[in-house]
Structure 1
Amino acid sequence: MTAPAFTEDDRHFMRVALSLSKRGLGNVWPNPSVGCVLVSSDGSIVGRGHTQPGGRPHAERVALDMAGDLARGATAYVTLEPCSHFGKSPPCASGLIDAGVTRVVSALTDPDPRVSGRGHTMLTDAGIQVDVGLFADTARKVNEGFLSKVEHGRPFVTLKLASTLDARSATASGESQWITGEAARQEGHRLRATHDAILVGAKTVLADDPTLTCRLAGREHQSPVRVILDRAGDVSLSVQLVQTANTVPTWLVTAEHNFSELSEKFEKTSIKVIAVGCAHGHLDLHDVMRKLSDAGLTRVLVESGGSLAAALVSAGLVGRIVHFVAPSVIGGDGQAMIASLGLERLSDMPRFDRVSVREMGEDIAVTYDNKTD
């Protein structure tokens, strides 16, 4: 099959669609975050949209409603294959057909078994020209969470770390606020706003009593689900995460044998208790991620201590690391950013690709992607 010959105009409009698609990150789970642009035959944008909070309406429907009759004869640039199945709303592929669109440029085929090429086939069968693959790698990056959920049965996990130059996250006494500066902390809140959930361990909750909300001006409503890993049921009813669970969804993940006891403990709160299996005396992190995926989560940001960070890295569950580095030194008696991995050979080291380095005030933010993802 001959690859489509995309024009500079195609590239421009798909870039616009990709930019729109990013607006839904953190707000549309379990759905993908899609962008759509409708362009008339004279090259004018007549409709644009992105997946709305909660996943409905879809990007195509928003763009079609904006365009109205101007959609007839237009080209649709979509960052993911239009859906072909009836859910809470009619298929987007049908909407594009009914609107009289004559061409669809799609970045990716949707791997969801309910779609998986059927949307493109519906469009082709209706006489619409369909060209697939424009900026596919970029589109995959935007929807890496949704794709991970569909293809691997787990959310995409980003591990956020903050440390000194010598990779210390706290002093020997546990003091850590604040190692990094204001700009880095603001970026941390932006990360929260673009993820479906923040995951922490019980030790972090007991030590810091955090709120784990997004505190960016104008984006406070984008605070993600808060997930606590608590194998033994140590988290008390008095911590802020429990006290505020009625305003920000909060889930507690515990061992199966503790489920009944903790369900009773938190029954008068808004905490959702989830049971998972254990392995070697610890929560089975693969089962944790499966259960979070089953609950609809696609993008999880981990803000943890060194032990949980090490466990997730060892389990191969970390897709990305965002490391905020402060220009300071604590020394060898400080707490390690990532606890012991028990490695004896360099060949066993988990490896990541550095993809960006950015200045954050006096600090720097370095982003790494897992080589195996």
Structure 2
Amino acid sequence: MAEAVALGAAMRGRTAPNPNVGCVIVRDGVVAGRGATQPGGRPHAEAVALAEAGERARGATLHTSLEPCAHRSHRGPTCAALIAGAGVARVVAAIEDPDPRTRGEGFAMLRAAGVEVSVGAGAEAARRSMEGFLTRLALGRPYVTLKLALSIDGKIALPSGESKWITGGDARAHVHLARAQADMILVGRGTLLADQPRLDVRLPGLEDRSPRRALLTRGEPVAGWEILRSPEDIFRLHNVNDLLVEGGSGAATAFLSADLVDRILIYRAPIIIGEGRSALGYIGLEAIADAHGRWRSADGRSLGVDRLEVYERVREPAA
């Protein structure tokens, strides 16, 4: 299951609106087929793995990070039907598909066909790998990551606006990896005018992973950019599971004020700027007590001379 989850995670940012699923088929202790959902969402991971396994799938165990689909589509047969037809003996799935068109039906179809089904192995890792898809199904919007590059004292630029480069090469490379896992990147108009950012992925071998570009502005549209008039416009985005908000202070403040940030990536450089531009403006808090309990530290590591801090929004489980 760990390999199946990793295969799916590698496709994050490429499969929307479908989930980024991974699948591994094992027969007699030997891997017979591997697959991940392909760009654009088809073919699904199970179909890719079954095609590689061929006749070796008969009597095998199929590990998948998400319940095989059961809803019919003009784009091909259901994965549950493909699995049953291939003679797979057992399916091990990490989590149930929350899509109401499949939820539980994929497992029911498999069991009706005589396939043994087990659910729950690797569930937490699978959920993390598909946060974008799961958030969109649960909340009707993408999973939103906010990226901030800061000095020790929390500044994003000098008073003049100069900000290149606060962090070093290792941190910037990690940002490009985060871009490769997003379906869309958003900046504010101020950042566009000041930096003319390309917002592409410039890591060797991942150049084709550059996401769509969005601009948060109430001004005139800009050629080559998708326009969002407010953070709430993310509820109308199509084919976006993961949204990366890169800058600047206005966009970051707007999304935090609207409570539409799920994760924060802080790249902190070992420099002190003093007087300069702050990362955020007023986000609506009236008391320090209101700030506590909203975020939890999820990760931290060194990236060359810089430090990555990851924080996740603490939210009440959906009813």
**Which bracket does the TM-score occupy, shorter chain normalised?**
over 0.9
Residue in structure 2 matching 1:309, options 240, 252, 255: 252
Match of 1:170 in 2: 157
**Equivalent residue, structure 1, for 2:276:** 334
Do the aligned residues in 1 keep the contact of 2:228 with 2:234 (CA within 8 Å)? no
Residues 321, 74 of structure 1: alpha-carbon distance in 2 compared, 3 angstrom cutoff: same
Equivalent residues in 2 for 1:180-191 (5 A)? 180-191=167-178
Aligned residues: percent identity?
A: 46
Displacement after TM superposition at 1:307 (Å): 2.0
CA deviations over 1:107-147 (Å, ceiling 9, x no partner): 01000011111101000111111111112111111111001
Structure-2 residue corresponding to 1:347? 289
Counterpart CA distance in 2 for 1:90 and 1:232 is: 45
Match of 1:50 among 28, 36, 49: 36
Which residue type is aligned with residue 67 of structure 2? Answer: E
Cα deviation 1:70-114 (Å, max 9, x = unaligned): 000000000000000122111000000000001100001000011
Structure 1 residue 56: Cα displacement: 0.9
Deviations 1:5-31 (A, max 9, x none): xxxxxxxxx111111111111111111
- The 2-side partners of 1:347 and 1:128 are apart by 53
2:307 corresponds to which residue?
364
Q: Aligned residue for 2:235?
A: 290
1:1-373 to structure 2, matched below 5 A, reads 14-40=1-27, 42-87=28-73, 88-233=75-220, 242=223, 245=224, 250-254=225-229, 283=230, 285-286=231-232, 288-292=233-237, 295-331=238-274, 333-349=275-291, 351-372=294-315
- Report the 3-state secondary structure (helix = DSSP H, G, I; strand = E; otherwise coil) of the residue aligned with 1:140: helix
Report which of the two structures shows the higher radius of gyration computed on alpha carbons: 1
**3-state SS of paired residue (1:303):** strand
Unaligned runs of 5+ in 2: none
CA distance in 2, matches of 1:322, 1:111: 27
1: CA distance, partners of 2:79 / 2:99: 15
Number of equivalences = 314
Aligned mates of 1:344, 1:76 — CA distance in 2:
53
How far, CA to CA, are the matches of 2:116 and 2:153 in structure 1?
A: 56
**Residue type at the aligned position of 1:32:** P
CA RMSD of aligned residues (A): 1.2
Identify unmatched segments of 5+ residues in structure 1: 1-13, 237-241, 255-282
Q: Secondary structure at the match of 2:137?
A: helix
TM-score using structure 1 length: 0.82
